[in-house]
Amino acid sequence: MDAQGRGRGENIDPADQWVLNPSTGEYELRLSPSAPQSPIPGPRGPRNAGAGNPRARSASPDRAPERPGRTSAGSETPGRDVPPQRRRRGAQEEPPPGRRGRRPAKKSKKAKKVLLWTSGTVAFLVLATGVGGYLYLEHLNDNITSVSDDGAGTGGFKKDQAINILLIGTDKRTGSGNEGYGDKGSEGHADTTILLHVSKDRSNATALSIPRDLIVDIPDCPTEQEDGSQKVIPGETGVRFNTSLGQAGRTPSCTMRTVTELTGIKPDNFMVADFNAVKTLTSAVGGVPVCLGKDINDPDSHLNLPKGTHRIEGEEALAFVRTRHSVGLGGDLSRIELQQQFLSSLMRELKSNDTLTSPSKMIKLAEAGTKALTVDSSLNSINKLKDLGLELGKLNVKNLTFTTIPVIDNPAEKVKATVVLDESKAPQVFDLIRNDVSFTEVKKKQKKEKAAVAARLKGEKAPASEVRVRILNGGAPAGSAQSTLSWLQVDEGVSKSENAGNAPAEAAKTTLEYAPDQADQARRLADIMGLSASALKPGESVTNSQGLPAMTLTLGKDFKGAGVSLTPPDKAPDDIKKSTADKVVCAE
């Protein structure tokens, strides 16, 4: 932590500022008023700075002293001033954590995990806090840099829904010692990008890497300028994915739009990190253990390590995640695998050591993490980051899968430099994520629940001529209800069907609602349309225009056209290369 930035002298251990409050039983951060204190800022609005902004963030000026009667976290202490120094402990009190030569504090069961990520180009770091730590986190609002998502995202993650976070690592050369890396003079391209999908029930997650040399179409990007005006940056077709950021003034919101165009998945939020982030974050966590299956000496990335296990941080960690010529096939896809191994190791390290219960380590991580990342404006306060972290912290690393978009060499090139989608595999991977399907096996309870849903498709099926259904358009393209009606009546013999117009509200998924005595009809219509078991919704019967009982088919936004199956894949393809965060892999 930068003690001087808070009006403190040098060489002060942040852990020494923690005092037990006997009223709450929690440790609180209290600072001596012997020097001017900087008030802890409240939540800040978006700052127009980030990966695509050339303006550098300046150091905060000294601030006015705090008023008596307030802690440094800004909370009132009724009836008394902040004491000039930490009062002596009573016999029953635990010593503040982090003091040398004293009994360490017990690990608090209330400690909660706040999760962010980093590689040399991607952010993913874990913080932890109890009540006292939470008060300190208010200070971190001042560190956070945010930029607008320009309407490219969903408006922010929801606690009761699946989460999609776009993690963008740039090759922007900020920070001391980074002059020899990346694209000189660049504002930062999307050098390494991961779409992190966290399941609705938080039982599993998929980290999908997007190759920087993947040929994509970049859409038009409405972008907020520094003066607050809007500018539409024209799109391009058939260009490298990494040009979705930095090129022609594109901001992270344009990378979000490109990902949506590519995968059909709309990210909720984004986080951006540059070269300097991996150096500061790995040093803050105390280093990350990595395994090499062979000696590596890469003059381009400056990585020089012998075969074996090493703990790396700072400059060496940056070199590790940037090396590619000395591993695998020597290309960007091999470097992606290396970065996935690095992230897995970082996750295991944070889960296994005392980082989450050590105030001094927590503070170093908090300071480094909030300074290293640029986030979208819906994550512009520590409270919002904390809420996201608590959701991500529910994950078990064995159910966190790393994989890469399936690609093949660009057939249009004689000298292979770029890649294109593998159309035989990539759509299935995108469907898995869109439909919240895990790439790993999960709990037995969830398997039983899936089996119960699947049972809806089992049993007798009524003849097509006996299926009576009302068709509503709930977000499908205009005319879908009528085209489906014609297809069912003419091609499939479902003559007792009718177009009932638009649904009362839009729906993400196509559903078929039916009464218990219509189950055989529902199974027949599901078979005809390729509906999954989860699309079948037991409920109550309704009446059609003739006053007869009928089922209700609502065509959602996932509807792809009459006769196109809506059954999503139920597991990852066997030939998709993937790894889980709990496994140690050595780079070759």
Interval 474-523: pLDDT, tens: 999 999 999 999 999 999 999 999 999 999 999 988 999 999 999 999 99
Is residue 519 assigned to a domain? yes
Task: Give the pLDDT confidence score for residue 447 in this predicted structure.
Answer: 57
Identify residue 248 by its one-letter amino acid code. Answer: A
Return the ∠ at Cα 327 (arms to 290 and 280), rounded to 5°: 45
Please state the domain count of the chain: 1
* pLDDT at 159 > cutoff 80: yes
Is residue 486 assigned to a domain? yes
Distance CA 197, CA 206 (A): 5
Q: What is the pLDDT of residues 40-58, one digit of tens each?
A: 333 333 444 433 443 333 3
272 strand-pairing partners: 168, 374
Range of lowest pLDDT (93-102, 267-276, 524-533): 93-102
Task: Give the pLDDT confidence score for residue 51 in this predicted structure.
Answer: 39
* pLDDT at 91 > cutoff 60: no
Reported confidence tier of residue 359, pLDDT bands at 50, 70, 90: low
Q: What is the pLDDT of residues 269-308, one digit of tens each?
A: 999 988 888 888 888 888 889 998 899 888 888 888 999 9
* pLDDT at 397 > cutoff 50: yes
Residue with tokens 């994950």: 395
Task: Give the pLDDT confidence score for residue 356 in this predicted structure.
Answer: 59
Q: What is the pLDDT of residues 398-431, one digit of tens each?
A: 888 999 999 999 999 988 899 999 998 899 899 8
Task: Give the pLDDT confidence score for residue 272 in this predicted structure.
Answer: 92
Q: Compare 119 and 496 and report the one with higher pLDDT.
A: 496
User: Looking at residue 501, which CATH number applies to its domain?
Assistant: 3.30.70
> Can you list the alpha helix ranges (DSSP code H) found in 478-567?
480-491, 519-529
Identify residue 358 by its one-letter amino acid code. Answer: S
Q: What is the pLDDT of residues 265-276, one digit of tens each?
A: 999 999 998 888
Q: What is the mean pLDDT of residues 144-171?
A: 92
Reported confidence tier of residue 372, pLDDT bands at 50, 70, 90: confident
Reported confidence tier of residue 13, pLDDT bands at 50, 70, 90: very low
Range of lowest pLDDT (23-27, 261-265, 435-439, 497-501): 23-27
Q: Is the Cα torsion angle 17, 18, 22, 24 positive or negative in sign?
A: positive
Q: Is the Cα torsion angle 568, 572, 576, 582 positive or negative in sign?
A: positive
Is residue 496 assigned to a domain? yes
Is residue 56 assigned to a domain? no
Task: Give the pLDDT confidence score for residue 11 in this predicted structure.
Answer: 43
Reported confidence tier of residue 32, pLDDT bands at 50, 70, 90: very low
* Contact between residue 276 and residue 283 where contact means Cβ atoms under 8 Å apart: no
Task: Give the pLDDT confidence score for residue 21 in this predicted structure.
Answer: 57
Q: Compare 442 and 540 and report the one with higher pLDDT.
A: 540
Residue ranges making up the domain that contains 502: 455-555
Is residue 397 assigned to a domain? no
Q: Which residues, 6 or more positions from 382, have their beta carbon under 8 angstroms from its beta carbon?
A: 43, 137, 138, 140, 141, 144, 370
List b or e across 533-547, with b for residues whose CB sees 16 or more CB atoms inside 10 angstroms: bbbbeeeebeebeee
* pLDDT at 90 > cutoff 90: no
Task: Give the pLDDT confidence score for residue 187 in this predicted structure.
Answer: 61
Q: CB burial class (10 A; 0-12, 13-18, 19+) of residue 183?
A: middle
Q: What is the pLDDT of residues 539-581, one digit of tens each?
A: 887 999 999 999 999 999 989 898 888 776 666 667 777 777 7
Is residue 78 assigned to a domain? no
Residue with tokens 């001529």: 465
- The strand pair at 496-502 and 190-198 is best described as unpaired
Range of lowest pLDDT (24-28, 419-423, 439-443, 462-466): 24-28
Q: What is the mean pLDDT of residues 221-227?
A: 92
Write down the mean pLDDT value for the chain. 75
Distance CA 519, CA 462 (A): 9
* % of the chain beyond a pLDDT of 70: 68
* Contact between residue 318 and residue 305 where contact means Cβ atoms under 8 Å apart: no
Is residue 244 assigned to a domain? no
Closest CA to 150 of 43, 225, 219, 45: 225
Task: Give the pLDDT confidence score for residue 171 in this predicted structure.
Answer: 76
The two tokens of residue 278 are 């991996």
Reported confidence tier of residue 4, pLDDT bands at 50, 70, 90: very low
The two tokens of residue 561 are 């056209």
* pLDDT at 95 > cutoff 50: no
Specify the pTM. 0.64
Task: Give the pLDDT confidence score for residue 357 in this predicted structure.
Answer: 61
Give me the DSSP letters along 167-226: EEEE----STT-TTSS-TT----EEEEEEEEE-TTSS-EEEEEE-TTBEEEEPPEEEE-T
Distance CA 272, CA 124 (A): 10
